[in-house]
Structure 1
Amino acid sequence: MVDNIGSSSEGFKYNFYAADASIPDSVEDHSSIKEQDRLLPIANVGRIMKQILPPNAKISKEAKETMQECVSEFISFVTGEASDKCHKEKRKTVNGDDICWALGSLGFDDYSDSLKRYLLKYREAEGERANQNKSSNNEARD
């Protein structure tokens, strides 16, 4: 597992650490990221876990906390890869295509393919919604 992945651009610094890695003192001094800001809310993680389990299944607090660490680290890892790509391309905004690319480049091709299909459907739905709003606004003016 990678202990430290970092990149910096235009004064911004991003550091991602594995859950079991010790964070150097120099990073702790300069980083104002709180533990709760680094992790997904545990209630959301628990709710997602419950959706996949049988209705009578119980989830321990330790299991939720472990999953919370894992998914937060995964998101940071993928986002860091996408952010590096954007930095190399001199862009400041990470978009869905960048996340798909990052998943593929990190070896998560199955997730990348699924997310690309979802992103296409999402964009189509957003386009249809925009067209509906535009036509209803035009009708209201007439």
Structure 2
Amino acid sequence: MEITKLESLIKLFGQSNLGKLELAEKDLRIILERQSDTTTLGIKPVEPVSSKPTSSQTTVSLKTETIINAPLVGTVYLAPEPRKPVFVQVGDHVQKGQTLALIEAMKMMNEVTATTTGTIKKVLVADETVVEYDQPLFELEE
């Protein structure tokens, strides 16, 4: 998503009465949510914000979520070997390119890697289950 589109979306959300807005585009998900007392944005606000929040101020929290999908059909393994710890679990911070799981297809092991740096929000599959091409496997929050 282009930064100008994102800025426009944030501005429109700030002017609306919506409490929460979720937007999904391909493997990118953006959540804008109002909270009380402080302002948190990925970009600078247009209007200056005083250091002491007033009761009329609201928080806009920008969270970007990325879905990691299966690159092929096969059996997913969440650990490198049986009875070994899983590659990642909910709450783990991962780096771009880090191995998250393995998918076995035609007796070949294929790595599923993080497409971006972030935190594992959800594991969407169980160990040793068959997955389809493009099936969501993990949800990352940037």
TM-score normalised by the chain length of structure 2: 0.23
Greater strand share, structure number? 2
Q: Which has the higher contact order (CA 8 A, sep 6+)?
A: 2
Greater helix share, structure number? 1
TM-score normalised by the chain length of structure 1: 0.23
